[in-house]
Amino acid sequence: MALLEINNNEVHSLPRPSATVMVLRDGPTGMEVLMVQRHNDSGVLGGVHVFPGGKLDKLDCDVRPDQLDRPMHELRQALGETGLDDATAAGLHVAALRETFEESGLLLHALNAPLPAQTPEQLRAGLASGAGFANALSALSLPLSTRSIQPWSRWITPRMPSVTNKRFDARFFVAKAPADQDVLHDTHEVSDTVWLTPEAALRQYWEGQIGLVPAQILSLSELARYSRVDAALLAARQRTPLLIEPEPFDQDGARVICYPGDPRHSQSTAIWPCPTRMTFRNKRFEPEGGLAALLP
């Protein structure tokens, strides 16, 4: 497991737009979520288990309206963000689909038939040529299926980010794993992939078997409230994506990160049933009340 180190340097750069997908499937013991382990030598969160995702690329925003399965303004409305332009909203959806494919080999789609066996290899070749994800799909006569993902939350890294020296404005999505595909992770950025129930992932974190950062910890805590994929997807469709802006401070020599609803947070109203603060102890972030506070 990766042991985290606290970063005390304030970061003055603007947060980088990015997209993350919590890919879900129904397993024998309940709903499972796909997690990828970043390489130990990765520049961001090396060794930590995260959901597939990454930065928004310029090519993601160059998608044409005819390459989308929904109008751009619907994608903007789905994200529920004031001031977001249509092209960036579409690009964030494209980035979510692209990063999921690049890091896990899963092409999220809404097709009524299985993908041809050669599709992943052909799509990777298209991406390697610099065509961009939307164009690479178009070359294979495949749709860019934004309907296969649902916005879930938005995490904005504070200027004192605590666990990395880079800031992100990350849009989290949820999606159902395609039944016709197997995970084949990218060996460049990812060293391992695993399907875990949210509860199992949190228990493994608590027992020191895997490393997690607060955005993953609390997202898993939210997902643990759902026993089936369809229930989580329905919840995503029925709510405006949560805006989560962590606010860190130091107390008694320890770094604390608080969230909406905490007495120290600028937003007094709670937005979820999860813990409202995490404290860095034992080389990890822990909520008040321990593991039990993270579980339903």
Strand-by-strand arrangement of the 284-287 sheet: 247-251, 254-258, 277-281, 284-287
Q: Residue 94: pLDDT above 90? A: yes
Higher pLDDT, 237 or 7: 237
Q: How far apart are CA 204 and CA 67, in angstroms?
A: 41
Q: Which amino acid is at 286?
A: E
Token representation of residue 246: 């962590």
- For residue 161, the model assigns a pLDDT of 62
Token representation of residue 74: 């619907």
Average pLDDT, the chain: 90
pTM over 0.85: yes
- For residue 222, the model assigns a pLDDT of 97
Q: How far apart are CA 230 and CA 162, in angstroms?
A: 34
Higher pLDDT, 114 or 205: 205
User: For residue 62, with 0-12 CB atoms within 10 Å meaning exposed, 13-18 middle and 19 or more buried, which class applies?
Assistant: middle
- For residue 13, the model assigns a pLDDT of 73
Q: Is residue 287 within 8 Å of residue 293, measured between CB atoms?
A: yes
Q: Residue 5: pLDDT above 90? A: no
Q: Residue 9: pLDDT above 70? A: no
Q: How far apart are CA 138 and CA 126, in angstroms?
A: 10
- For residue 184, the model assigns a pLDDT of 78
Instruction: Report the percentage of the chain scoring pLDDT > 70.
Output: 89
Q: Torsion over CA of 288, 290, 295 and 296, rounded to 10 degrees?
A: -50
| Residue carrying the six token digits 């006569």 | 141
Q: How far apart are CA 203 and CA 155, in angstroms?
A: 23
- For residue 92, the model assigns a pLDDT of 98
- For residue 67, the model assigns a pLDDT of 94
Q: What are phi and psi of 122, to 5 degrees?
A: -65, -40
- For residue 248, the model assigns a pLDDT of 93
- The answer to whether the Cα torsion of 183, 185, 190, 191 is positive or negative is positive
Q: Is residue 80 within 8 Å of residue 241, measured between CB atoms?
A: yes
Q: Which three-class secondary structure string do you get for 166-189?
A: CCEEEEEEEEECCCCCCCCCCCCC
Q: Residue 262: pLDDT above 90? A: yes
- For residue 196, the model assigns a pLDDT of 97
- Mean pLDDT (whole number) for 142-159: 93
pLDDT category, 30, cuts 50, 70, 90?
very high
- For residue 6, the model assigns a pLDDT of 60
Q: How far apart are CA 36 and CA 96, in angstroms?
A: 15
Q: Residue 203: pLDDT above 90? A: yes
- For residue 148, the model assigns a pLDDT of 95
pLDDT category, 38, cuts 50, 70, 90?
confident
- For residue 162, the model assigns a pLDDT of 62
Q: Is residue 142 within 8 Å of residue 113, measured between CB atoms?
A: no
| Residue carrying the six token digits 């770094």 | 255
pLDDT category, 122, cuts 50, 70, 90?
very high
List, for residues 41-83, the tens digit of each pLDDT value. Answer: 555 555 789 999 999 999 999 999 999 999 999 999 999 998 9
SS3 248: strand
Higher pLDDT, 106 or 159: 106
- For residue 57, the model assigns a pLDDT of 96
- For residue 189, the model assigns a pLDDT of 67
Q: Residue 176: pLDDT above 80? A: yes
Residues present in the chain in total: 296
| Residue carrying the six token digits 């050669």 | 118
| Residue carrying the six token digits 């994929």 | 229
